[in-house]
Amino acid sequence: MAVQMRTVGLIVDDMAASLAFYRLLGLEIPAETDSEAHVELEDETGVIGLAWDTAEVIRRLDPEWSGAAGRVGVAFQCDSPEEVDSRYAQLAALGYGHNAPWDAFWGQRYSRLRDPDGNRVELFAPLPE
């Protein structure tokens, strides 16, 4: 059987701040998870696509973990180039901006944000032909 990617895991210092960022991005994450040490977001089929663990949990599992942040990147496709611009503007105004939206040579409206832990968050949408 071939391997299949199922989950992107983020290590966070502040679960509530991280989840708040991803809610602003448009993900539906229950508010009661803000105080959890591990959170999973499942898609409609029950597959875990995104998971968050606090640094404290990771250190318990791996005492030699260095604590380096910002090593993960997550990309989200938007419905339109205009949505890329508006979502970026909303989050950049809160201090999460990194690379403002631009028309990339590979045919996408593309931008980068940084979440509260420094992880790369990419927003993109196909450009009209």
Residue 121 structure tokens: 């968050």
Task: Give me the domains of the chain, ranges plus CATH numbers.
Answer: 8-55+70-126 (3.10.180.10)
Per residue of the chain (129 residues), give pLDDT as tens. Answer: 665 767 899 999 999 999 999 999 999 999 999 999 999 998 887 777 899 999 999 888 888 888 776 678 898 999 999 999 999 999 999 999 999 999 999 899 999 999 999 888 999 999 998
Characterize the bridge pairing of strands 48-54 and 108-114: unpaired
Which pLDDT score, from 0 to 100, does residue 118 have? 87
Predicted confidence (pLDDT) per residue in 31-49, tens digit: 999 999 999 998 887 777 8
CA 34 to centroid of chain Cα atoms: 16
